[in-house]
């Protein structure tokens, strides 16, 4: 089969464009507030994943899990590529971690900045500023739920155009999320986020089931019965708080799946897990996906 120069050029051009789409962008070009150094892990970034076609105009900021000690690629890159297939523009967040000496509020500052950044660049990425969601898994789910309950409207007087934007997500997707810092917490995540001996006030503040209000955005929640890392009570308590505050949500507790499986579309999993289709159905209801 003959390959023309024009066809080869088009292929190389498309691959180059795709790579440029997935280039990490520092959230604070002059350095993040409270940075402890200038190493790669001191620089929170956002990596755009753009749809090749059929973009809905909706966007999701994705917070990978990893116990506030690392960042799991299959809960970032893989989710973004999956959602791209359904018209959702994605931005994978690299946030600062407890394993590198950071504690609250560095992580929530990074997540809030990411949502503001997407809104400030909405025209460039053809995103609707009223359809910007957040998604997180495990400790990344805790970070997402923290922003869902601790957002602000932005500082309209700021000289930084990004800081003028609201950090309130329009919806949330929480995958086997850490929610509480109390009895059912994941101890490693708690220690990496709050340190060894946090005050009772800080524990309460970051126990996000206690921070839900009627203004909390709608959420899709899922976990599994056999998760022995982050107990399903985390998800159940958040769902109950949403219900009490009349916030719309979808809740799925699956029997099988364990913890940290992501899309479960690669070995050793025999079949894709149904959560992805259930989530996609919900995202379509909210005019995010096609």
Q: What is the pLDDT of residues 79-109, one digit of tens each?
A: 999 999 999 999 999 999 999 999 999 999 9
CATH fold for the domain made of 5-285: Rossmann fold (3.40.50)
pLDDT at residue 268 in the model: 67
Could you state, in order of their start, the residue ranges of all structural domains in the chain? 5-285
User: Could you give the residue ranges of the DSSP H alpha helices within the chain?
Assistant: 5-21, 77-84, 106-120, 122-125, 139-150, 187-194, 200-205, 233-244, 275-285
Q: Is the pTM of this model over 0.85?
A: yes
Residue 241 confidence class, pLDDT cut points 50, 70, 90: very high
Tell the residue number behind the tokens 């691959």, with chain if given. Answer: 15
């Amino acid at each position: 089969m003959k390959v023309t120069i024009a066809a080869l050029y088009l292929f190389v051009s498309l691959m180059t464009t795709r790579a440029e789409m997935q280039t990490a962008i520092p959230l604070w070009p002059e350095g993040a507030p409270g940075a402890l150094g200038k190493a790669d892990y001191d620089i929170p970034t956002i990596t755009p994943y753009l749809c090749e076609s059929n973009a809905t105009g909706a966007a999701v900021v994705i917070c990978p899990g990893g116990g506030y000690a690392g960042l799991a690629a299959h809960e970032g890159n893989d989710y973004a590529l999956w959602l791209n297939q359904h018209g959702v523009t994605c931005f994978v967040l690299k946030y600062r971690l407890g394993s590198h000496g950071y504690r609250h509020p560095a992580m929530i500052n990074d997540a809030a900045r990411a949502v503001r950044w997407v809104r400030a660049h909405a025209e460039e990425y053809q995103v609707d500023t009223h359809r910007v969601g957040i998604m997180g898994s495990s400790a990344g789910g805790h970070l997402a739920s923290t922003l869902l309950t601790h957002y602000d409207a932005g500082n309209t007087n700021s000289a930084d155009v990004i800081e003028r934007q609201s950090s309130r997500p329009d919806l949330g997707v929480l995958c086997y999320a850490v929610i509480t810092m109390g009895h059912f917490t994941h101890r490693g995540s708690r220690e990496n986020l709050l340190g060894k001996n946090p005050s009772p006030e800080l524990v309460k503040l970051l126990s996000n089931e206690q921070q839900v209000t009627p203004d909390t955005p709608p959420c899709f929640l899922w976990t599994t019965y056999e998760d022995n890392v982050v107990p399903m009570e985390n998800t159940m308590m958040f769902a109950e708080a949403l219900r009490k505050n009349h916030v719309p949500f979808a809740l799925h507790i699956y029997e099988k799946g364990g913890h940290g499986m992501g899309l479960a579309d690669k070995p050793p999993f025999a079949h894709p897990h149904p959560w992805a289709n259930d989530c996609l159905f919900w995202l379509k209801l909210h005019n995010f996906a096609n």
